[in-house]
Amino acid sequence: MSESNKAKLNERMEKIVSLCKRRGFIFQSSEIYGGINGFWDYGPLGAELKRNVKDFWWRCMTVYRDDVVGLDASIIMHPRTWEASGHTSTFSDPMVDCLLTRKRLRLDQIDPQTGTAYSYLGAVDRDLFFEFQEQNPGSKLIEAFELHSDDGILKPRPGTDTAQTVENLMSSLDLTCNTAYSVLIPDGERSDQARKIARKYYQLRGITRPLLIDEQTEHVENSTRYNPENGSLLTEPREFNLMFKTYVGPVESEDNIAYLRPETAQAIFAQFKTVLEVSRQKLPFGICQIGKAFRNEINPRNFTFRSREFEQMELEFFIKPDEIAAKSEADSNASPDTPQPNWGWKQWHEYWVEERIRWYESVGLTRDSLDVYWQPAEELAHYAQATVDILYKFPFGTQELEGIAARGNFDLTQHQEFSGKSMEYFDEEAKTRYVPHVIEPSAGVDRLILAIICQAYREEEIINEKGKKEIRNVMQFHPRIAPIKVAVFPLLKNRRELVMKAKEVRDLLRPYMQVFYDDAGAIGRRYRRQDEAGTPFCVTIDFETLGETPELLDTVTVRDRDTMKQDRIHTRELAEFLQKRFR
């Protein structure tokens, strides 16, 4: 991507963020206190938008399907849950940084190194050292060191108090660094490599031509203190725990530590048997849930995209193991995308990928704004058989909205093991017991809202009545999820009959949809305000409505956000006319 194109996209993102704030879609959390990194609030329009999106997902799962039921579980669960799921161990990794390249590594992924460690006490600038030597001939301080000029090493002479001597030298010269550093050189490799790396290290700390101070060597075995790539010393390991910790009960003790869930999925697994029992479902079937989740992200970025508190829409769709499913018979008359009893996990996985893409289209994300990424085998998590990411092309990059993972029976098996409770399903048809497998479409609500906002944002250049160019900002939300469905205006505010009639129309529509009444300012201004809010329809009550032309009595104009064209509709048909367009 070119720099200018990148700048343009960044500018677009800034405008979107600005509009979100100006119109009340998204605010920074705790703004009056200076904000808090990784947390965001939804304003009036944002709250409606988010609610519409979640409601629609929920309806698509539980109302329009027979094979999915809902769950609304608690955020805090028994801590053992997270041991079973693997989160407490894999979510807190000790991390180290390379002192030379600043690259961050996971301690557990470092291959232990064996070789010779070369340690230095610090470095001084070569030019300054010689200058000092010239200006102070015979100085005791200089005499205390032996210069190995071939290697560029200042070695304290035997018998001197090394620490004190080095400190004295440091305080006499300007360009010094007294940070100790070491490099590990594998057995059989050249030792001058260590000095080269050490010099580079001190150069990064501002010493142009470093003379290394002291050089001690030590044989080291199976150490993870050094970067395998370059031998450089690493920082002390630091814990990166992504779980939000809290205490259950008013006393803070080790015994009552609990965690805010990092995903909603585990509650579904933990309640699998109870839901199965009460819902009278048979495999294959799914349990879905919408709810908050919390992750202590190392670095929240990109507006709401990576937040520490966020919301998920997750489905765990339980299926039969392939060998059981294969015994069932398919309906030969069914169309190819209709689920069949003999489908294996691969077919179910592909089915859900396609279902989810279609769903994104139905909320206004076009197929060409999305990307689908099949994770290659080497990237897969240990539990996953296959994972597909659905990504959206955000102005700041193409990023994940949803992951659809085929997780085998990993989760249920883990919970069975950790809880000691059976997670097996008795298959009446096959007359056998087994732990079901699962396909998990897991979507981030806040990411989706951001994608929807980015997708909807339009700047239209239009020529006004005076022939002047101006920009019309319009949020082209799919009517189905638009925060306000219809705005109702009296053409003029200072005609009582128009105002009364407009309020009547508002009340007429209110039971069916989000309505917004506005009578302030010129009619054009009111239209434009609704354009920025993404309201798909504006209804205006004018003198025809009141009967100026008898045959137009009780008709209103309905203005379309995207075309700015108007239809004249009788109030009797208005609610249905509108509803048809956003159902």
521 makes contact with RNA (CB under 7 A): yes
User: Which residue, 437 or 559, is less far from RNA as judged by CB?
Assistant: 559
The stretch among 101-109, 187-195, 245-253, 430-438 that binds RNA (CB under 7 A) is: 101-109
Write the burial class of residue 135 (CB in 10 Å: 0-12 exposed, 13-18 middle, 19+ buried): exposed
Whether residue 327 contacts residue 312, with contact meaning beta carbons closer than 8 Å, is answered with no
Question: Does 210 sit behind a cis peptide bond, omega within 30 degrees of 0 on the bond before it?
Answer: no
The structure tokens 């070695």 sit at 155
94 makes contact with RNA (CB under 7 A): no
User: Rounded to the nearest whole angstrom, what is the least distance from the CB of residue 279 to RNA in the complex?
Assistant: 27
Grouping H, G, I as helix, E, B as strand and the rest as coil, residue 34 is coil
Cα-to-chain-centroid distance, residue 454: 15
391 makes contact with RNA (CB under 7 A): no
User: Rounded to the nearest whole angstrom, what is the least distance from the CB of residue 543 to RNA in the complex?
Assistant: 4
Q: Count of CB atoms within 10 A of residue 422's CB?
A: 11
577 makes contact with RNA (CB under 7 A): no
Side by side, which strands form the sheet with 566-570? 515-517, 486-490, 537-541, 555-560, 566-570
What burial letters (b/e) apply to 63-101, b meaning 16+ CB within 10 Å? eeeeebbbbebebebeeebbebbebbeebebebbbbbbe
User: Which residue, 273 or 472, is less far from RNA as judged by CB?
Assistant: 472
Cα-to-chain-centroid distance, residue 575: 38
The stretch among 89-97, 142-150, 189-197, 420-428 that binds RNA (CB under 7 A) is: 89-97
458 makes contact with RNA (CB under 7 A): no
* Distance between CA atoms of residues 578 and 556, nearest Å: 13
User: Which residue, 304 or 347, is less far from RNA as judged by CB?
Assistant: 304
Chain positions 4 to 63 lying near RNA, rule: CB under 7 A, are 6, 10, 13-14, 17-18, 21-22, 28, 34-38
User: Rounded to the nearest whole angstrom, what is the least distance from the CB of residue 33 to RNA in the complex?
Assistant: 7
Grouping H, G, I as helix, E, B as strand and the rest as coil, residue 1 is coil
Which of 120, 527, 537, 582 binds RNA (CB under 7 A)? It is: 527
Which of 26, 53, 84, 105 binds RNA (CB under 7 A)? It is: 105
User: Which residue, 118 or 392, is less far from RNA as judged by CB?
Assistant: 392
The stretch among 110-118, 267-275, 351-359, 488-496 that binds RNA (CB under 7 A) is: 488-496
Whether residue 237 contacts residue 94, with contact meaning beta carbons closer than 8 Å, is answered with yes
User: Rounded to the nearest whole angstrom, what is the least distance from the CB of residue 62 to RNA in the complex?
Assistant: 25
* Distance between CA atoms of residues 427 and 436, nearest Å: 10
User: Rounded to the nearest whole angstrom, what is the least distance from the CB of residue 504 to RNA in the complex?
Assistant: 15
Residues forming a β-bridge with 118: 183, 217
Which of 125, 263, 314, 389 binds RNA (CB under 7 A)? It is: 263
557 makes contact with RNA (CB under 7 A): yes
User: Which residue, 219 or 469, is less far from RNA as judged by CB?
Assistant: 469
245 makes contact with RNA (CB under 7 A): no
161 makes contact with RNA (CB under 7 A): no
DSSP annotation of 76: B
The secondary structure of 351-397 as a DSSP string is HHHHHHHHHHHHTT--GGGEEEEE--GGGS-TT-SEEEEEEEEETTE
Which of 51, 65, 104, 205 binds RNA (CB under 7 A)? It is: 104
543 makes contact with RNA (CB under 7 A): yes
